[in-house]
Amino acid sequence: MDPSLSLADKLASKTASSNSLDSSSKSSSGGGIENGVLRDTPFAYLDGEEDQDQKNDVTYVCPYRGPVFGALTITNYRLYFRSLPLRDQELPVVVDVPLGVIARVEKIGGATSRGENSYGIEIFCKDMRNLRFAHKQQNHSRRTVFEKLQANAFPLSYSGRLFAFAHAAARATGAAGATAAGGWDGWAVYEPLAELRRLGVPNDMWRATKLNESYGICDSYPAVWAVPKAASDDFLRRVAQFRSRCRLPVLSWMNPRTQATITRCSQPLVGVSGKRNADDETYLSYIMEANAQSDKLTIMDARPSANAIANKAKGGGYESEDAYKNVEINFLDIHNIHVMRESLRKVKEACYPTTDDSKWQTAIDSTLWLKHIRCVLAGAVRIVDKVETMSTSVVVHCSDGWDRTAQLTALSMLLLDPHYRTVRGFEVLIEKEWLSFGHKFQQRIGHGDNKHSDADRSPVFLQFIDSVWQVSQQFSNAFEFNEHFLITIVDHLYSCRFGTFLCNTEAERVAEDLKHKTTSLWTHINSSLDQYLNPLFPSFTHGAELVLRPIASVRAVRLWKGLYCRWNPGLCALQHGCQRTRELLSKQDQLFKHVNELRLKSNNRSNNMQTTTRLASPMH
C-alpha cells in the first residue's frame, strides 16, 4: 500500500496490513518495475503479470468517501484503481484486488441511464467487498473493462489458465525462483511418510501403505495411507466398496502415549434397508483393537442426526450400534455446505458496506455464523476429550468425508498436538487433512470460473480458519503464528497466485504437475516469516500447554472483525496488526539479547568467584 495514504484510506483499502496480497507489489509513486523496465503504473508488477486494459476516466463509487475520479488498470492478476487528487496534499484512494477474489461482475445502467454514476460495473468479491465503478457512456470504456475482467477473473470459463501458472513460469526464468525463501521449496513442507514417522508409524499395530499410489482405489484420497496392520491390501479394497466414494477409514493422528487414534472416512452405504458389511465391521474392530487402552470405539458423525437418517434414502447413512460391536455413535449437529454458504452471505450483508450500530449484535446473531463456528469447536473438543481423557480411539465422518470431517480432524489435531500450532506444523496440517484428503477447493471456492451461483460453493475451509482464530484468542501464547498469518492464508485461498489451493484432489494436482508448474504459498510465507510470528509464543521456554481445551460456548465465540470487517473503516481495528507484530518481535529480540548478556555476566562472575576461592584456600 502507498505509504502516503491517510488513515481513512488505509482502513478502506487495507491491502497490505490485512492480506499480504501486495507483499511483493507495494504501491509506489515512482511506478512499477519488472525485469528492470519501468512501467507507468503506481505498483510493482509480479512476475508474469501483464497489462490487459487501462482507463483514465473511471469513477470509483466508494461507500465511505463517495465518488472519486481516477485511473483503472487491469492486469492478468489484479484490478488496480488510484484516484487523481483534485487538490494539493490530497491523498489518493487506492483499490488493489486480485482477480481471483472476484466472484462475479455485472453491468449497471444502460443507454437510457441519466443519474450521476448510474452507468458502470459492479464487482462482487469473495472477501466480503463489493466494488462499483462508474463510466462515461460517451467514452465506451465500460465494454472493454467488462470483457477484460470476465476473461481474466474467470479464465477457466474462457479456455484460459489461472495466473499461478504464468507467475511460476516467469519466476523460473528469473532470479526470484532460485532464491525464494532462501532456497526453501514450500512443496516440500509435507512428506507423508516423514509425518507418519513423527506420529510413530509404522509400529506393532499400524502400517503405512502405498496401495492407492495410482489413485485407483479412491481417487479423492492421498497416495499414502496409514492403516491397521491386521488389514491386508485385498481386505482394504473390499472395505472401500462399502464406504461412500470409497473413502474407507485411515489414520489421521495417533497419541504417542496411549496409542488412541483419530481416523477419518465417509459414511457407510447402509441405505434404507440397513445393509451390513462384515469386512467394514471387522475393520472398525481392528481400529479399536489397535488401542490397548480402551475396549470401545467412538464414531463422531459431524451431521445432525436427522440429516444422517435422511441420507439413508440416498444409499448412505450411519453405523448401527447393533451391527458394530463396542461402538458408540455421536452426532455433532454441524450443518451442510448450503446452510454455511447462506450464513456467510448474511454476515457480508451485516458487515459491508454500512452497519446499523443499534442492531449490530442482532444482525450478527441472526446470521447464525457464530453458532455454526461454536458447533465446529464443540465437536473438536468432544473428540479431544475422548482421545486424551478417555484414551478412546475416534472415527470421524460426515457424508463424503471431505468437508465437515476435515474441519473436525484438523481442529482436534491442532488442539491435541503442539506441533500443528507452529508455522510449519500448521502448513503440514493443511496439506495433510485438507489438501491430500481431497477437500474440493476448486468447487468450494470456484477458482477461475464464473459459476457464482454454483451449489458446490461453500466457506468450509474459511470456517476452519475462523475456528483456529477463535482458539488463538483463548490461548494467546499457544501459537507460533499470528492473525496476519491466518488472514494471508484466507486471501491466497482466493487469489490464484499460488498453486497450493488449486484443484480438488491430490490426484488432480499430480496430473496438473502443480509442484513444478506453480509456486507454493508456503514458499512465499516461509521467505518472510517475521511478519507471521506471534511475539507471545514461547521461544526459549516451554510454557505452551500440551493439549488445548477451548471454551466452546456462544459467550466465548465472537465475530472475527479483523477478517470480515477489515474493509469497513467504522468496524476494523485502528492498529496496524502486522506493524505492531514487527515492533513486538523487535522488542522481544532486544529482551532476549539482554537476558543472554546478563546470563553471561552472571556466569563470568560465578567463575571468577570460584577461581578466587580456590586461590585463597589454605593448603592442607
Predicted local confidence at residue 228, as pLDDT? 98
Task: Residue 518: name the closest of 161, 164, 24, 160 by CA.
Answer: 164
Predicted local confidence at residue 358, as pLDDT? 84
Place of cell 488401542: 291
Mean pLDDT throughout 48-76? 95
Place of cell 444502460: 110
pLDDT at 347 over 90: yes
DSSP secondary structure letter of residue 519: -
336 is in an annotated binding site: yes
Place of cell 489413485: 215
**15-24, 184-193, 321-330: which has the minimum mean pLDDT?**
15-24
Phi, psi dihedrals of residue 270, rounded to the nearest 5°: -85, -30
70 is in an annotated binding site: no
Rg of the Cα atoms in the chain: 27
Task: Residue 440: name the closest of 453, 427, 455 by CA.
Answer: 455
Query: What are the distances in angstroms from CA 224 to CA 9, 209, 522?
Result: 49, 6, 22
For the chain, domain boundaries: 3-24+578-609, 33-153, 186-564
Q: What's the chain's average pLDDT?
A: 89
Whether 377 contacts 550, CB under 8 Å: yes
Predicted local confidence at residue 58, as pLDDT? 95
**4-18, 140-154, 171-185, 569-583: which has the minimum mean pLDDT?**
4-18
253 is in an annotated binding site: no
Grid cell listed for 215: 489413485
Strand, helix or coil at 473?
helix
Mean pLDDT throughout 25-44? 50
Between CA 196 and CA 227 the distance in angstroms is: 11
Grid cell listed for 570: 467504522
DSSP assignments along 325-361, one per residue = TTEEEEE-----HHHHHHHHHHHHHHHSS---GGGHH
Task: Residue 117: name the closest of 131, 128, 105, 127 by CA.
Answer: 131
Fold (CATH) for 33-153? PH-domain like (2.30.29)
312 is in an annotated binding site: yes
Task: Residue 438: name the closest of 461, 421, 466, 469 by CA.
Answer: 461
197 is in an annotated binding site: no
Mean pLDDT throughout 538-551? 75
Higher local confidence (pLDDT), 306 or 616: 306
Place of cell 511460476: 168
Burial category of 85 from C-beta neighbours within 10 Å (exposed 0-12, middle 13-18, buried 19 and up): middle
Between CA 334 and CA 339 the distance in angstroms is: 10
Question: Residues of the chain with pLDDT > 70: what percent?
Answer: 86
pLDDT at 589 over 80: no
Grid cell listed for 513: 504437475
pLDDT at 540 over 60: no
Between CA 377 and CA 51 the distance in angstroms is: 44
313 is in an annotated binding site: yes
pLDDT at 4 over 60: no
pLDDT at 616 over 90: no
Find the farthest-apart pair of alpha carbons in the chain and give their distance in angstroms, rounded: 113
pLDDT at 28 over 70: no
76 is in an annotated binding site: no
pLDDT at 304 over 60: yes
Amino acid residing at 151: A
Categorize the per-residue pLDDT at 544 as very low, low, confident or very high, splitting at 50, 70 and 90: low
Task: Residue 99: name the closest of 119, 76, 131, 83 by CA.
Answer: 76
Higher local confidence (pLDDT), 425 or 609: 425
Between CA 103 and CA 578 the distance in angstroms is: 27
Cβ of 576: how many Cβ atoms within 10 Å?
17
Task: Residue 446: name the closest of 192, 100, 96 by CA.
Answer: 100
Which residues form the catalytic set? 398
Cβ of 120: how many Cβ atoms within 10 Å?
24
Mean pLDDT throughout 205-224? 98
Question: Residues of the chain with pLDDT > 90: what percent?
Answer: 74
Between CA 128 and CA 564 the distance in angstroms is: 7
Query: How remote is the C-alpha of 591 from its chain's centroid?
Result: 33
Categorize the per-residue pLDDT at 122 as very low, low, confident or very high, splitting at 50, 70 and 90: very high
pTM tops 0.95, yes or no: no
Whether 294 contacts 390, CB under 8 Å: yes
Place of cell 468450494: 444
Between CA 473 and CA 64 the distance in angstroms is: 30
Mean pLDDT throughout 528-555? 84
401 is in an annotated binding site: yes
pLDDT at 192 over 60: yes
Between CA 118 and CA 121 the distance in angstroms is: 9
DSSP secondary structure letter of residue 46: P
**90-94, 356-360, 500-504: which has the minimum mean pLDDT?**
356-360
**140-154, 187-201, 348-362: which has the minimum mean pLDDT?**
348-362
Predicted local confidence at residue 580, as pLDDT? 66
Predicted local confidence at residue 90, as pLDDT? 79
Phi, psi dihedrals of residue 534, rounded to the nearest 5°: -90, 115
326 is in an annotated binding site: no
pLDDT at 29 over 50: no
CA angle 434–435–440, rounded 5-degree value: 85
Mean pLDDT throughout 538-548? 69
CA angle 503–506–509, rounded 5-degree value: 50
560 is in an annotated binding site: no
Grid cell listed for 481: 503464528
Mean pLDDT throughout 284-297? 97
526 is in an annotated binding site: no
Report pLDDT digits (tens) over 514-536.
Answer: 999 999 999 999 999 999 999 98
